[in-house]
Amino acid sequence: MPVLAYCISEAGIGLDAVPNGVVGARVESFTGPGLQCFFSELDKAEALTEQPARQAAMEFYRVLQEVFRQGAIIPFRFPTVVSDNSELRRHLQEHAAEYQNALERLREMVQMEIRITAREPVASKEGVSSGKEYLSRRRDRAQELETAAEKFRQAGETWIQEWRQRPTQQGIRCFALVHRDFQRNFIERARSETIPAIFAMRVSGPWPATEFIKEV
Amino acid sequence: MISSDGEDEVSLLDILDHVLNAGVVIQGTVVISLAGVDLIYVGLNVIVTSVETALRHMRPGSMLGGDFENG
């Protein structure tokens, strides 16, 4: 029977508060070496198509949210469907040490995100007198974004354990690894920060710390 | 200089971005083909996009895909 995988946590998470999952399927879990893996059995994989994708993604998120409320998780990307329960167990066994290390390191940690975006794009190539000027403007914009990101990093450094950032087409995304107990402090500090008027900023979180477990 | 926009609530777009673009990819066993690509394409356009992105970025030795960016 196909299985939809939600996430992995350290063992000991209660299922009582976990809502039903995607397409109303019951959420179950099995434990591996110190780990707990959450999944739903699907009558058939096509079940995922029986409702709008957005609704399915939200149901998936609600399961993650409840487990994450109880502890650190490593989510599976939606929709990760494997052919049966044994395949998921095999995956957990093969990667148990990596998951254990990551979850131990991220225990009690959450990921906060600051997204800084330009309110207006850099002038198009047609809007400037030369390619050189266009590139120069792009370089200046990138530098301004870096400066703004650094400002947030410094503002929150009391609570930030690790920091990642990467450029996007419209701006820059910054990720802060913060202890659960200090997420509110971080948000309030970030929201009190000022940035140049050409940029907009938004804080979101807490999220599972996926940006900090890339190369486990 | 202006104050931040100051909205820290998690939006639907944020949620979709995170569930579709962040997380473990089980290499070689994203069995989306169980349902048949055509069927999923009809019903789950957003998901198909994500899976294609995930597959494109899968790297040997990395449990999580590379950098995924919607923006």
What pLDDT is attached to residue B6? 45
Return the structure tokens found at A39: 């999944």
CB contact under 8 A, A77 and B42: no
**Which of A45-49, A86-90, A92-96 shows the lowest per-residue confidence on average (mean pLDDT)?**
A45-49
pLDDT confidence of residue B64: 39
Q: Are B29 and A78 inside 8 Å of each other by CB?
A: no
List chain A domain ranges: 3-105, 109-212
Query: What's the confidence (pLDDT) of residue A145?
Result: 94
Contacts of A200 in chain B (CB under 8 A): 5
Q: Which residues of B touch A216 (CB under 8 A)?
A: 63-64
Rounded mean pLDDT of A185-189?
93
* pLDDT at site A124: 63
CB nearest B15 (choices: A44, A58, A194): A58
Interchain CB distance below 8 Å, B1 and A75:
no
For residue A35, give the H/E element and its range. Answer: strand A35-41
Low-confidence ranges of chain B (pLDDT < 50): 1-8, 28-71
Q: What pLDDT does B45 receive?
A: 34
Tell me what the mean pLDDT of segment A66-92 comes to.
90
Residue A125 is predicted with a pLDDT of 59
Nearest CA in chain A to B64: A214
Q: What is the torsional sign of CA A201, A207, A209, A214?
A: negative
**pLDDT tens digits for range A196-205:** 999 999 999 9
Question: pLDDT grade, residue A47 (50/70/90)?
Answer: confident
pLDDT of residue B8: 43
ipTM above 0.85, yes or no: no
In total, the C-beta contacts within 8 angstroms joining chain A to chain B are 168
CB contact under 8 A, B5 and A201: yes
The answer to whether the CB of A208 falls within 8 A of the CB of B20 is: no
Task: Answer whether residue A90 shows pLDDT above 60.
Answer: yes
Q: What is the pLDDT of residues A25-43, one digit of tens each?
A: 999 999 988 999 999 998 8
The answer to whether B56 faces chain A, any CB pair under 8 Å, is no
C-beta separation of A48 from A80 below 8 A: no
**Residue B31 near chain A (CB below 8 Å):** yes
CB-based contacts of B15, cutoff 8 Å, min separation 6: A57, A58, A61
DSSP string of A156-205, one letter each residue: TTTTEEEEEEEE-SSEEEEEEEEEGGGHHHHHHHHHH-EE-TTEEEEEEE
Using CA atoms, how far apart are residues A114 and B8, in angstroms rounded to an integer? 9
CA A33 distance to own-chain centroid: 25
Give the architecture (CATH level 2) of A109-212: 2-Layer Sandwich (3.30)
The total number of residues shown for chain A amounts to: 216
How many Å apart are CA A101 and CA A139, to the nearest integer? 39
